[in-house]
Chain A
Amino acid sequence: MKRVLLACGMVCAAVLVAAAQTGFDPAKLVNPGTEAWPSYNGDYTGRRFSTLTKINDGNITALSLAWVYRLNPGAGGTQNPGSIKGTPLQVNGVMYLTAPDHVWALDARTGREIWHFAWQSKGGIHIGNRGAAILGDYLFFETPDCNLVSLNVKDGRERWHKEICDLDQFYYGSVAPIVIKNHVIAGVSGDDLDVPGYIQSHDPETGEMQWRWYVVPQKKGEPGAETWPNEDAMKHGGGMTWQPVTYDPELNQMYVTTGNPQPVIAHVNRAGANLYTASIVSLNPDTGKMNWYFQSSPHDTHDWDSTQTAVLIDGTVNGQPRKLVAQAARNGHFFLLDRTNGAAIVSAEYVKTNWAKGYDEKGQPVPNPEKHPQIAGALVTPNQGGAANWPPPTFSPQTGLFYVNATRAFSVYYIYDPGENPQGWGGTDRGGWGEAMMQAIDYKTGKVKWSHKWEGGSRAGLLSTAGNLVFSGGASSDLVALNATTGDALWHAGLNSSVSNGPITYELDGLQYVVVGAGDTLWSFVMNERPAARR
């Protein structure tokens, strides 16, 4: 019996190691198939849509628990790794999960830990980590103390690390890098000091920086400088690149979404549109040169970054096939653009707002000056948290609907630094009533086809599938599946905490899994039964 157990142990270990030692074919980053989830959004499009149908609207009630993994910082772990705010990767049966300063490799079939890497931190803001990137046998992730780190997927050993920002200026690393060809694209975080946002590219082999693109101009004469009053304002103008980029390989354009300008609330010393903050920007990933921009929130004064995912849609407009990009922005407006040149096709509210007077000739909202923050206060909707925030939306080509968890909330915005040269925030908002719902938006018109209210709120990320399902966190610390066509609630499972990331799905051994993070725990569900006939 002992020998049998020993033999089994050796076989199991061999299988485990084989799974962990297999890298990821870089060519599959463009078309990853259904057996992998190899990047933050699953593929370059940002759609978070899976063609898998083994879990569908006809059999979802048979979905069952496969395994649970609770974040384990290890025996030497000195810091609580916090919540799972990142999207795990799944490649060749191995899942790569992150939290600030931590990476775990897990067996995607069982949830067993294969290896764990802990970064010895020098500090930084540990608010969350959005995930890792993979290329071949290499893994990449950011740390709160401003490093881009590469690990070997075989054993989690460090290959190299490179400083990507200045910890002393209160930058930090939280963004999930994205691999595009021989570039590791890394954004930066931080909005406590008035420092410029940027995004940069690194060589996957050596870690050396290839280029850096500043969101805000750094000197007079640069593109966008005309939208700032002076060089000092633009050099301290913010615009962090909080979120992973999306990418069109055919156009070789990557779509960067940028943060709000600084100072955040008090704004008298940054008159102008403040380009290229709060924008969707198309860059060439080989050079970092800008192709075009669209500013979702010109001269923002409400902390509404526009870093919500720029989702690529290959659709039709007026009967013509078009390459499109869509965003449900934090300011409450939905935009549909031609992604070849940034021209707006649709601009529309996806929740009712009160801060804009309409749209300009480019389709960009025109702020109402009366709804800028005031010393005596201005009632504004959405509130500072926004109509949407960082949790990712999803788009289903099957239904033609863009799904986003939205909040309609009011707050009063105040200025508390009325001077001529405010810094930092210089104001704030005080919140009031709000309500949360999932909005299903017809991408061609921007109109909300259906709205599913969350009693008690939800800000979870989303996943849609060809099984006519949308997965989301619900209002009761649960994972919920809605009918993607109608918004009807079909199934839920109670978790130990609210969903804190975006769910993913993949197929292994003929079984479809759905995996979601809730607080410090990763939950894996699987459909064990044969696919049922669709209703």
Chain B
Amino acid sequence: MDDFNVTLREASGEYRTIRRGPAVKVVKEDPLAAHHALLETITDQQIHDLVAYLETLK
């Protein structure tokens, strides 16, 4: 996706490019958005604790 086109590969495998314009509304849903938002609040200690926990899962 850029300022001029949106390209989709649908579940069926079909590839489509749609030219953006006033009649085209684009809504982007990012499944990782909550993770990105966490970067603003997570502390270094929480990261260290998380990594230590993940190490125990080996």
Contact = CB atoms under 8 A, between A and B. Distances in A.
Interface of A: 370, 374, 376-379, 381, 410, 412, 432-433, 454-456, 474-476, 478, 480, 489, 492
Contacts of B42: 379
Contacts of B39: 379, 381, 410, 432-433
Contacts of B3: 474-475, 480, 489, 492
Contacts of A379: 39, 42, 44, 47
B29 interface: no
A435 to B, nearest CB: 8
Interface in B12-58: 32, 35-36, 39, 42, 44, 47-48, 51
Best-surrounded residue of B5, B32, B39, B42 (most CB of chain A within 10 A): B39
Contact of B4 (A410, A432, A492): A492
Top 7 A-B pairs, shortest CB-CB distance: A489-B3, A476-B2, A455-B1, A475-B2, A376-B48, A410-B39, A433-B36
A378 B1 CA distance: 33
A374 B43 CA distance: 13
A29 to B, nearest CB: 36
Given A410-B39, A456-B2, A489-B4, 15 more contacts: A376-B48, A377-B47, A377-B48, A377-B51, A379-B44, A433-B35, A433-B36, A433-B39, A456-B1, A474-B2, A475-B3, A476-B2, A480-B3, A489-B3, A492-B3
A378 B44 contact: yes
Main SS of the interface on chain A? strand
A381 B4 CA distance: 30
A52 B4 CA distance: 26
Contact of B47 (A370, A412, A475): A412
A370 B35 contact: no
Interface of B: 1-5, 32, 35-36, 39, 42, 44, 47-48, 51
Best-surrounded residue of A378, A454, A475, A476 (most CB of chain B within 10 A): A476
A400 B3 CA distance: 25
Contacts of B36: 433
Contacts of B4: 476, 489, 492
23 contacts: A374-B44, A376-B48, A377-B51, A379-B39, A379-B47, A381-B39, A412-B47, A432-B39, A433-B32, A433-B35, A433-B39, A455-B1, A455-B2, A456-B1, A456-B2, A474-B2, A475-B1, A475-B3, A476-B2, A476-B5, A478-B2, A480-B3, A492-B4
A456 B3 CA distance: 11
A379 B51 CA distance: 13
B2 A377 contact: no
A480 B3 CA distance: 9
Contacts of A376: 44, 48
Nearest to A381: B39
A478 B44 CA distance: 38
B30 to A, nearest CB: 10
Contacts of A492: 2-4
A456 B32 CA distance: 15
B55 to A, nearest CB: 12
A126 B3 CA distance: 34
Contacts of A381: 39
Nearest to B46: A379
A455 B4 CA distance: 11
A374 B48 CA distance: 11
B1 A370 contact: no
A377 B44 contact: yes
A121 B44 CA distance: 47
Contacts of A480: 3
Best-surrounded residue of B2, B5, B32, B42 (most CB of chain A within 10 A): B2
Contacts of A433: 32, 35-36, 39
A379 B40 CA distance: 10
A251 to B, nearest CB: 41
Nearest to A452: B3
B24 to A, nearest CB: 14
Contacts of B51: 377
A370 B44 contact: yes
A480 B1 CA distance: 14
Nearest to A489: B3
A380 to B, nearest CB: 9
Nearest to B42: A379
A372 to B, nearest CB: 11
A479 to B, nearest CB: 12
